[in-house]
Amino acid sequence: MYLPTAFRQDDLAELHAQIRANPFALLANACSEGVQASHLPLLLEPEEGEFGTLYGHFARANPHWRELQGGGEALAVFSGPDAYVSPGWYPAKVEHGKVVPTWNYIAVHARGPVELIEDPERLLQIVSRLSDRHETGRPQPWAVSDAPRDYLDAMLRAIVGFALPIRRLEGKWKLSQNRSAADQAGVRDGLTASPHPREQTLAAHMAQAG
């Protein structure tokens, strides 16, 4: 990813927080036909390895997993909040008019080798942890164990799991750091006033970074 110094995020806790907040990732890798990509919810285990390990699963009918046999490397992209930035928010527009639109966003890229998992018990652990993660806080959380075991066994046969130990982790926090303090404040105010929650979230990140 193109990563100017001003936008680089190296704080591991911040990178992990964004992965947890945006767990629906784009998983891509080079393959025999060029590039293959799948949209998948991933689970981060932060204590496993230097940068953590990601877990997920493919539908067995998805040919993507076959391209990862043998431990091929994959890239998981986690997209955080993003927003269009209007030049009208910059005080510089009034001063000299030399402004153009841009886009602010937060993104995390995680790379590493993929280990495919077909053992039923390990698959059960993956789907259980994924479900528990997203059921937490619900009034009546559903658990994998709520389903009949013979049904679960059939569902497990229909998926292929994987582990991706993160070997390289990059974060890009593009939050107008290359603009003047006045322009940054203008963007932050503009996003705060937005009716869209993701844009308000981005404004909060700008305030935290500022």
**In this predicted model, what pLDDT tens digit does every residue of 1-28 receive, in sequence order?**
999 999 999 999 999 999 999 999 999 9
Quick one: which H or E segment has residue 188?
helix 181-192
Span 28-64, pLDDT tens digits: 999 877 899 999 999 999 999 999 999 999 999 999 9
Q: What is the band of 97 on the pLDDT scale with cuts at 50, 70, 90?
A: confident
Residue (of 130, 16, 141, 31) closest to 80 by Cα position:
16
Taking phi over 0 as left and psi of -120 to 50 as alpha, with beta for the rest, 134 belongs to: alpha
Q: Are 73 and 98 in contact (CB under 8 A)?
A: no
Kindly tell me if the per-residue pLDDT of 183 is higher than 80. Answer: yes
Using one digit for the tens of pLDDT, what is the confidence trace for 101-132? 999 999 999 999 999 999 999 999 999 999 99
Instruction: State the Cα–Cα distance between residues 75 and 110, nearest whole angstrom.
Output: 6
User: What pTM does this model have?
Assistant: 0.93
CA atoms within 13 A on the CB side of 46: 9
pLDDT at 199: 96
DSSP per position, 7-21: GEE--HHHHHHHHHH
Element (H, E) at 130: helix 120-135
Nearest alpha carbon to residue 61 among 138, 130, 160, 143: 160
Task: Tell me the pLDDT band of 99, cut-offs 50, 70 and 90.
Answer: confident
Q: Is the Cβ–Cβ distance between 191 and 99 less than 8 Å?
A: no
pLDDT the model gives residue 209:
82
pLDDT digits (tens, 9 = 90+) for 139-172: 999 999 999 999 999 999 999 999 999 999 999 9
Res 95: pLDDT: 79
pLDDT at 94 over 80: no
